[in-house]
Amino acid sequence: MKGYFVVLEGTDGSGKTEQFKLLLRALKQAGKKVLTVDFPQYGKPSAYYVEQYLHGVYGTWQEVGPKLASAFYALDRIDAARAIRAHLAKGGVVLANRYVGSNMGHQGAKIKNTVKRRELLKWIYDFEYNICRIPKPDINIFLHVPSRISYKLISRKGERAYLKGKKRDIHEADFNHLKQAEASYQDAVRLFPRDFKVIECAPDGKLLSIESIHQEVTRRLPLLAHSRAASDGAPRSVSLRSSAFGRNRARSDRRTRSKR
C-alpha cells in the first residue's frame, strides 16, 4: 500500500501551527497512522546552520545570499528523508509543517527581479528534489495571508526560545521581506501548479476563522474525501520529535516558531 505525503505551507501569520494540529487530528480520526515532522528541525544537528543563520550569526540574509541559505534548509530535510521514506513505504501518512515551498518563498523573496526570482525557484526545486533527492510530497497545501495582515499577526507573537529574547527572526523583522516572500510563494504556485493547492485565508481582507480554514484544508485532501472516524479507538501517530531518529529534537513548544 502506497503512503501519502502531505505538506502544510503558508505565509507568516497564516496559523499553520493550529492548522497542523487540526489536520493531524482529522487524519488520526480517519484511521491513518501519521508521522509528523516540523521543518526546520530545531535542536537537531542538521538544523545547526539554519539556527545560526536565522539568529544572524552569518550576517544579514542579504549577505548570506539565497542559494547558500537554501542549502542550509535542504541539509536539514536530507536528515529527515530516511524516516519519511520508511514511513511511506509502510503505507503511512507523513504530515510536514513546511518543506521545499518555504525555501522557495523566503529565499525567492531576496530577489526583486521577477525573471531572476523564478530562475532561483526552479533552481531550488531541482536542487532539493533532483540533487538532494529528498521525497516529493503528494500535495502541498498553501495557506495564503496577505503580507500586510501577516505583519500585524506576527507582532502579537511572544518570544521564541531560538531567538533569545527577540519576537522576530531576521526574516520577520523586515516587512519588505514578508511582502516579497508573499510574491515569491505566489510565483512558486504559478510555476508548479500541480504541486500546490492554495487556500485564501483572508479572501475579503479579513482572516477566516480557524475552523473555516480547517474545513478548506480537509476539503482539498483526497485522502480525507471518503474517510470516516475509526471505531476502534484513536490510531497511533508517531513523530520525529519522539522517535529514536529524532530523540535530540527540541521541545514541543518550539513548534510555534516561524520556520523558514
User: Annotated binding site for ATP, which residues?
Assistant: 10-17
Rg (CA), the chain: 17
Cα separations in angstroms, 154 against 131, 210, 235? 34, 16, 34
**Rounded Cα–Cα distance for residues 79 and 171 (Å):** 24
Q: What is the largest CA-CA distance in the chain?
A: 55
What the block records as the C-alpha cell of 220 is 482539498
The HSE-up count of residue 50 (CA atoms within 13 Å, CB side) is: 25
Which residues is 97 bridged to in the sheet? 8, 38
What long-range pairs does 213-220 form, CB within 8 A, spacing at least 24? 213/15, 213/19, 213/143, 214/19, 214/22, 214/23, 214/26, 217/8, 217/19, 217/22, 217/23, 217/141, 217/143, 218/23, 218/26, 220/139, 220/141
**Rounded Cα–Cα distance for residues 87 and 81 (Å):** 10
Residue 4 has phi, psi (to 5 degrees) of: -140, 130
DSSP 223: G
Which positions make up the binding site?
10-17
**Rounded Cα–Cα distance for residues 74 and 34 (Å):** 23
**Rounded Cα–Cα distance for residues 33 and 91 (Å):** 8
